Amino acid sequence: MNGYHLLLEISEGIAVITINRPAAMNAMTPATLDELAEAVRRVNGTPEVRAAILTGAGTKAFMAGADIAAMRDMTPAQARDLARQAHLIYADIERSPKPFIAAVNGYALGGGCELAMACDIRLASENAKFGQPEINIGIIPGFGGTQRLPRLVGKGRALEMILTGEMIDAREAHRIGLVNRVVTQEELPEEARRLARAIAAKGMVAVGLCKDAVNNGLNMELAKACAYEAELFAHSFSTADQKEGMSAFLEKRPAVFRDR
């Protein structure tokens, strides 16, 4: 899939989705969202894809927010529709049984920061910058920033970023828990692939159940979340992968998972 705004490449079970507007700092437009929705559908609907990496073309930006020129004259109804479209796409990433890794290679601002937060794991290059600068143009984050950012870094830090609109660098993002690790610009693509391969080597049923337990459990009271985990744990014992995984462990050999 090679669209005008986005590239999708699949190799050795790893999908790489690249926002491809480097001249515009990979800024998000409604057309970009349409292509992203299709790319996520393809990843989720392609059995041979076992993990996905999201990144931006070039070295300057992952996604430097939304295209303000495309948004300036929107009506409130159009703005609501745009936000709802983004919410659906980002939720599809979050709910996917497959892992999504954000490889943040520059500015991740506004909708770009929100896209990275919808992914399961975030890697950042040393030159990455994160922010929710919507307050500076008279609006609020609309693609999940007011909800996912506090869940990742806590209410106080999230409100500081949202209310000041200030950017933070990769090291600060790592310190507060917004990103998992920081690597050099040169190391980022291979580090993302290494991580994707490591997860892709596991049984996809268990990977999906782990995502389900974490994402849904976070929204539950602890006792209910633990009960939900117990049900998913029990379900994992109904799979062929559980039998294979435990047998391989006891027989001291690598497991060969069949994703069932």
Q: pLDDT value at position 67?
A: 81
Q: Which residue, among 123, 109, 111, 137, has the nearest Cα to 55 in the 3D structure?
A: 123
Q: What is the mean pLDDT of residues 109-132?
A: 97
- Of 35, 134, 191, 229, the catalytic one is 134
- Catalytic residue status for 190: no
| 208, pLDDT greater than 90 | yes
Choose, from 12, 35, 114, 190, the residue flagged as catalytic: 114
Banded model confidence at residue 68, pLDDT cuts 50, 70, 90:
confident
Q: Which of the four pLDDT bands, split at 50, 70 and 90, describes residue 230?
A: very high
pLDDT at 2 over 80: no
191 is catalytic: no
Asked whether residue 69 carries a pLDDT value surpassing 90, the answer given is no
Is the confidence at residue 217, as pLDDT, over 70? Answer: yes
Query: What percentage of the chain carries pLDDT values higher than 70?
Result: 99
Q: Quick check: 234 pLDDT over 70? A: yes
